[in-house]
Amino acid sequence: MRVNENILISSLTTMRLGGPARYVLEIERPEDIPDAFGFAATYNLPTFVLGYGANTIGHDEGFNGVIIINRMRGITELSQENDTWTGDANGGSPDARRREPSTVGETLAAGPVQRIKVMGGEYWDDVVAYACERNLTGIEALSKIPGLAGAAPVQNIGAYGQEIADTLESIEVYDIVSHTFKTLTHDDLGFSYRKSILNTTEKNRYFVISITLKLQTGQMPRPFYRSIEKYISDHNSTNFTPQGIRAIVSAIRADKLPDPLEKASSGSFFKNIYLTEAESEIAEAKGYPVYHGKDGHKINSGWLIEKAGFSDKLLHGFRVNPKAALVLINESAKSYQDLAAAREEIINKVYDIYGYWLEQEPVEIINPPVKIPGVN
């Protein structure tokens, strides 16, 4: 375990905001984990588990506590099974099970199932590349999502018709409450859109050591997500292998989404708006574009932000990405207050025009409230 002191959070996160963290501990093996949390407990300091930093925002005052980063890497191939994967691999999230009629019960692949164990500190896109190189389907549409593998199940990452819940079989964790190592299954995790127990009911309880995925030889079924279908039509693409879909998704993302290492951002800053069946009918009657996919009925938040007049606007040092308006690019802001001002301006105007409240996707590193003796 490596111990660092007074490290700027802006240097650990891709939005490049945030003051100093008192300690930053880097975990290099599972045995380090109890020591890291024990270190924090000894000095009565709060902890924050940080991954790649692409979905995390720092505050100006920094963090008077211990940031713990997973540096454990490695991918191991486990057992291979000669079964057939129909629908979603392990059930997916409740939303993911609502597939379009044309794909209900459709066989996604016919080859053998391959389970792989991925250490939590592995870069997620390296995991996708590893799978695609072996012709394994199930995560190719999740290409180029910045982050670490251990963070993938926390918010149930998803894109272009796939989400991690579709293929995740189990995770190995350290239980911070009971001070024990455990295995949590897919069903234990309570997946839904951008949620799991890891960021809701059991938030801050578990440190993810590794994840096990259940992938399969073969290809995604058509129809694909409409952005992929459009790219195929525009470019006359014919390669729908995992490598081919990965190339398509990578090209789409490169055109619309800035590389956070080149332009300070945190990916999609706002979550999409999910609607009930009745709400989706009302929205469509108003002329709003509603996407009906396997994860439910939704309106792209980027469309709302663009139509509200924010595309390419500079707000308090943040540029609204002209190609994907739900992305904010930090061009000159140095303060969290600049971000808060830009966020409020966008949220309020979208609500005033369309009646939908936008929700921020990145989490924030916040100091816990100061406890005053004798005051509740």
Provide the 3-class DSSP secondary structure of residue 148: strand
Report phi then psi at 81, rounded to 5. Answer: -125, 140
Active site residue 361: yes
Residue 194 identity: R
Cβ proximity of 319 and 329 under 8 Å? yes
Task: Judge whether 202 counts as a catalytic residue.
Answer: no
Residue 324: closest CA among 194, 192, 224, 227:
227
Q: Read off φ and ψ for residue 273, nearest 5 degrees.
A: -90, 120
Phi and psi torsions of 247, nearest 5°? -65, -40
CA distance 115 to 121: 18
Residue closest to 49 by CA, chosen among 120, 104, 111: 120
DSSP label at 307?
H
* 268 is known as an active-site residue: yes
Q: Are 20 and 60 in contact (CB under 8 A)?
A: no
Give one word for 101, left, alpha or beta, with left for phi > 0 and alpha for psi -120 to 50: alpha
Dihedral sign from CA coordinates of 346, 348, 354, 356? positive
Residues in Cβ contact with 14 at an 8 Å cutoff, skipping those fewer than 6 apart: 52, 53, 54, 146, 260, 261, 264, 265, 266, 267
Active-site residue identified among 194, 253, 319, 343: 194
Q: How far apart are CA 304 and CA 329, in angstroms?
A: 18
φ, ψ for residue 191 (rounded to 5)? Answer: -70, 140
Half-sphere exposure of 241 (CA within 13 A, CB side): 12
Q: What are phi and psi of 236, to 5 degrees?
A: 55, 40
Contact at 8 Å (CB) between 299 and 356?
yes
Choose, from 143, 268, 280, 301, the residue flagged as catalytic. 268
- Tokens for 290? 């509603």
Nearest to 70 by CA among 119, 27, 128, 9: 27
Write out the catalytic residue numbers.
194, 268, 361
